[in-house]
Each structure stands twice: as C-alpha cells, then as structure tokens.
Amino acid sequence: MRLSLEEALSQLNNWKSEFTNVYVSTQGHVTLWLAGRISHASPAEVHIEIPGTDPKDFLLSVSLDRATFEYRDRLEPLEFWKPQRSEQDFDSVLVRMERPTTFSQ
C-alpha cells in the first residue's frame, strides 16, 4: 500500500515512541543491513541509532528527500533480505523508494 510522507512519518514516529527495533536494508554503492531504533523522524530525514553504540560515533541518517513509501505486511513478498533472515522475521515493512529525477526545458 502506498503511503504519503505524512503517513510514513506517522508510522516511523509510532515505531520511535514504542522503542521498536527496526531493521534497515539499503543497497546501492554500499550494501548495508543493520538493526537499530529510530531516534528522530522529520520530513527531511530519519535517524537510526544502534543500541550499545554511542550516537556520536555511529548514526545512520536516511534522507526522505524525493522519497516515496510503501507499507507492507509479512504476507507480501520483498526482494531484499539480509542472509539468514526472511520476511517472516518481520511484522510489517516500510519501504522507502527514490523518485526518479526528471529534467525539462
């Protein structure tokens, strides 16, 4: 199900207030999988802290600029999973996707 930025922020802030463990998977120039907790969520970015790690030493900041969102439950298949994990390990998933950049003249 597609979500607006406001709906996605509402879900992220729910997870933040409930101290929910979140699992982040990102692929691009660097592939990263980590588990952490949301410490900040705004229309600009989301901060993820790793329990046991000082946020001054390591903090993941995910930009929400030009992002679109999909919310999925465990019954919907996903393409990305860390080895030794499956979608059955999660109750729900918020997928952040990049909107393509368009140029016009």
DSSP label of 88: G
Angle, alpha carbons 46-47-48 (nearest 5°): 120
Residue range 19-36, pLDDT digits in tens: 888 877 766 666 677 788
pLDDT tens per residue, range 70-105: 776 655 555 555 555 555 555 666 666 665 544 544
**Residues contacting 15, CB < 8 A, separation 6+:** 22, 38
What pTM did the predictor assign? 0.73
